[in-house]
Amino acid sequence: MVLRSDPSVAVRALRSAAPYIRMYKGKVFVIKASGGVFGDIESTRTLIEQVAILHQVGIRVVLVHGGGPQLSQIQESLGITPRMVAGRRVTDEKSMEVTSMVLNGLVNTQILGICRELDIAAVGVSGVDAGLVRAHKRPPVKVEGETVDYGFVGDIDLIDAKVLQQLLDDGLMPVVSPVSADDKGTLLNINADTVAAGIGAALKAEKLMLVTGAPGILESLEDPRSIISYTDLAGLQKLKDQGSLKDGMLPKAKAIEEAIRGGVRRVHVISYKSTDSILAEAFTNEGTGTLVVENISALSPAEQHA
Ligand SMILES: Nc1ncnc2c1ncn2[C@@H]1O[C@H](COP(=O)(O)OP(=O)(O)O)[C@@H](O)[C@H]1O
Ligand SMILES: CC(=O)N[C@@H](CCC(=O)OP(=O)(O)O)C(=O)O
């Protein structure tokens, strides 16, 4: 006997998603997926399937990817010991070569392969393409009393999002690697959250979703239940001041702040390990991770996870 599923369940789901689809059609969502997502083909496909649904209902989706774990793995195989300081990779000349090979080559192309399989018209670009991310080499900086020369790490001067607008206008989905360059064409490594935030601000995105391995922003890293459901820029600063944010969460917090100050309405920090977290965030009132807005008191309770 073949068991039939109840069609009313699907119809109810469609009805409840319809107001969100109406609200977000034509709006820009920047989705940033960390390298951890692309560790295996199944989690890659699960992520791209969700992104595909956003794209197919008419949301202008820009997918920005990381690739930190993959980079560390290849560095190690070449006898280079990865060094991260305050969540950013110290990048010598050889490591910069590895960065463009792994991010522009391996990870970007793997994503495009899945997009082909799922029949999404996606185009791979990096910050280098058509002057998308204009950056300069970060000068040596003091981090916790130590002078750190990050090498070929870039700081963003300007995002020229024309190429992304053109792709979006043509119904294509840009898949962006964060590898960037200065005006002389020197390649620079930039944290993917930082690039995603810059793109979000340049496109005045409705949402920036930072899809990561963490369940969201935690009040205490040692306690996975201490997840903060929603906060604002003042709350984020408080978490930073009390030392709750460490390592990779430091560039993420800076990226969140830059995105919101640049005009992104809502930033979501969600886990790729949580089932359908992107769709839940976009099409329901029940977010799974942390929502950050400019000022929480301006939100009604009903809005706090919309
Ligand atoms: N307060 C915090 N809440 C959540 N994660 C935190 C916090 N402070 C530090 N972290 C660390 O930051 C990591 C996320 O940064 P990172 O690994 O660079 O992100 P990505 O998954 O985007 O590569 C978490 O897995 C966790 O180890
Ligand atoms: C300067 C810097 O740190 N760049 C990052 C770029 C990749 C990235 O951000 O990847 P995830 O999102 O997977 O962490 C790096 O080298 O790891």
Pocket perturbation via mutation, ligand 1, pick of 71, 247, 256, 270 by most ligand atoms within 8 A of CB: 247
Rounded Cα distance, 90 and 88, in Å: 7
Express each pLDDT in 113-157 by its tens digit: 999 999 999 999 999 999 999 999 999 999 989 999 999 999 999
Ligand 2 site, CB within 6 A: 34-35, 66-68, 71, 88-89, 99, 153, 178, 189-192
Closest residue (by CA) to atom 14 of ligand 2?
68
Domain ranges of the chain: 23-303
Cα torsion 83, 109, 274, 23 to 10°: value is 120
User: Which class does domain 23-303 fall in?
Assistant: alpha beta
Per the DSSP assignment, residues forming a β-bridge with 290 are: 269
Question: Scanning the structure block, which residue is given the tokens 């002078």?
Answer: 147
Say if residues 270 and 212 touch (Cβ distance below 8 Å): yes
Q: Which two tokens stand for residue 270?
A: 């969600």
pLDDT grade for 7, boundaries at 50, 70 and 90? confident
Q: Which atom of ligand 2 is the closest one to the Cα of 70?
A: 13
Closest among 67, 52, 132 to 101, alpha carbons compared: 67
pLDDT recorded at residue 3:
65
Closest residue (by CA) to atom 16 of ligand 2?
89
User: From the CA of 69, which ligand is nearest?
Assistant: 2
Helix axis angle, 192-202 to 249-261, nearest 10°: 10
For residue 6, the CA-to-ligand 2 centroid distance in Å is 44
Mean pLDDT estimate for the chain: 95
Is ligand 1 within 6 A of the CB of residue 289? no
For residue 11, the CA-to-ligand 2 centroid distance in Å is 41
pLDDT recorded at residue 298:
77
**What strands lie across the sheet with 133-137, from one edge to the other?**
154-159, 133-137, 180-181, 187-188
Look up the ipTM and state it. Answer: 0.98
Express each pLDDT in 161-194 by its tens digit: 999 999 999 999 999 999 999 999 999 999 999 9
Q: Is 58 a known ligand-binding residue?
A: no
Question: Scanning the structure block, which residue is given the tokens 């003091």?
Answer: 142
pLDDT recorded at residue 301:
62
Rounded Cα distance, 241 and 123, in Å: 40
Rounded Cα distance, 78 and 95, in Å: 10
With a cut of 60, say whether residue 304 has pLDDT above it: no
Express each pLDDT in 273-297 by its tens digit: 999 999 999 999 888 999 999 999 8
pLDDT grade for 2, boundaries at 50, 70 and 90? low
User: From the CA of 68, which ligand is nearest?
Assistant: 2
Q: Which two tokens stand for residue 282?
A: 């976009």
With a cut of 80, say whether residue 110 has pLDDT above it: yes
- Over residues 30-45, mean pLDDT: 96
pLDDT grade for 109, boundaries at 50, 70 and 90? very high
pLDDT recorded at residue 1:
59
pLDDT recorded at residue 5:
75
pLDDT grade for 23, boundaries at 50, 70 and 90? very high
User: From the CA of 153, which ligand is nearest?
Assistant: 2
For residue 293, the CA-to-ligand 1 centroid distance in Å is 19
Q: Is 89 a known ligand-binding residue?
A: yes
Closest residue (by CA) to atom 10 of ligand 2?
66
- Over residues 36-45, mean pLDDT: 94
For residue 9, the CA-to-ligand 2 centroid distance in Å is 41
Is ligand 1 within 6 A of the CB of residue 249? yes
Distances (CA, A) of 225 to 97, 221, 228, 265: 40, 9, 9, 26
